[in-house]
Chains A and B, each alone.
Chain A
Amino acid sequence: MKTRKGYTLRSLGKEFILVADGFEAVDFSRMISLNETAAFLWKEVEDKDFDADMLTTLLTDNYDIDRETAQNDVTAMLKSWAEAGIIED
């Protein structure tokens, strides 16, 4: 899968939001908030082909988290990213 083009990650201190660039940005439902970890993952895989395994490895390599917990977190996160329409196959 890939991150959808046309989003800019913006920092609000410890919280982050993805804002749609361009004309569709007028629609406020297209603004998605991310926590620090999700923002880190987004930056790592932006504009690349990636899968759940890659994200899980990124989590276990960079955070104090076991693989199973990381997998569950990634599954939940990808579901919300898909619902928000910020990733595509």
Chain B
Amino acid sequence: MKKVYKVAGFDFAIIMPDDERAWGTMQNYEPFVTEDTGNYIFTAELVDAMPDTTGKQLVVASNMRADMPRAEMYDWDGKWLFEFAPTMEAPVRVIMLTDKEFTYMKFRVLGGWRFSSDIVMKMMFACATTHRNTLMMHASVTMHKGKGYLFLGVSGTGKSTHSQLWINNIEGCELLNDDHPALKVEDNGEVRVYGTPWSGKTSCYRNIDVPVGAIVDLHQAKKNEIRRLSLPEAYAVIFVSFAGLRFLKEQADGYHTTNAKVVGSVPCYRLDCLPDADAAWLCHNTVTQ
């Protein structure tokens, strides 16, 4: 059985057996189901065996923190092979093998369905859209008066908390996505933010998009302060919050082009803040002007 999904205007297909129980765990994809026009940026196919990849060459191992997912990436016979685990100590839960253009991926799940399907689809989506004017970001997004405000920051900074502070204190705010929204520069130059099936711990899988009002890089501090970022600073904060593979040369040009267009038209700020209502108001009053 094949299902087709549209995220940020891009269609992708997932192929799994009809009776695969996994379909039932993928409720977060349901709002994005679309008509099958046969035109996909990538196809993902569930398999129950992987080719023998003995002698594969490690390209990069990534684990930023003990409680964050671990990824290993190998170069195998002209393809990328990824192994993912939910934490540093956990066993590998999913293996995926993709061509280097990220158009066709096979994945084998060893355990933990929800983690496994999300991490491989996120990776494929991020890498297949980087050269299509789109950046999958690590951010929480709140909407206010028809615009989206992206809150960035390293894990644990309080991105979700800041979104909640807007929602609880400022009338007319709604959450768009709490973890991995897609930032897209449209053909007419407008920068929009799209909901995706990937929203972290918060169930917020909204198939909607709005123009971006501002991007705010959050830092924990003892008092609330906000300032506008220069172009290079804005570029840098978007660079670190990009959820794709920054280090792949094949991705770098597309990545740069989109980032440069974003910082050229969207105001970016740095907010040093406490987790309080004053921080939300200071931020709101500055960035919605």
Residue numbers of A with Cβ under 8 A of B are 8, 10-13, 15, 17, 19, 21-26, 28, 31, 33
Contacts and interface: CB of A to CB of B under 8 A. Distances in A.
Nearest to B62: A26
A19 B239 CA distance: 10
Interface residues on B, range: 10 to 19
B90 interface: no
B64 to A, nearest CB: 9
Contacts of A24: 247
Contacts of A19: 239, 252, 256
A28 B153 CA distance: 13
A12 B236 contact: no
A22 to B, nearest CB: 6
B111 interface: no
A8 B252 contact: yes
A15 B60 contact: no
Nearest to A14: B231
Nearest to A16: B232
Interface of B: 60, 230-232, 235-237, 239-240, 246-247, 249, 252, 256, 260, 263-264
Contact of B263 (A8, A12, A28): A12
B246 A25 contact: yes
B264 A13 contact: yes
A78 B263 CA distance: 28
Given A17-B232, A31-B232, A31-B239, A12 B249 contact: no
Q: Which of B60, B230, B239 has the most CB of A within 10 A?
A: B239
Given A15-B231, A22-B247, A33-B232, A10 B60 contact: no
Contacts of B247: 21-26
Nearest to B247: A23
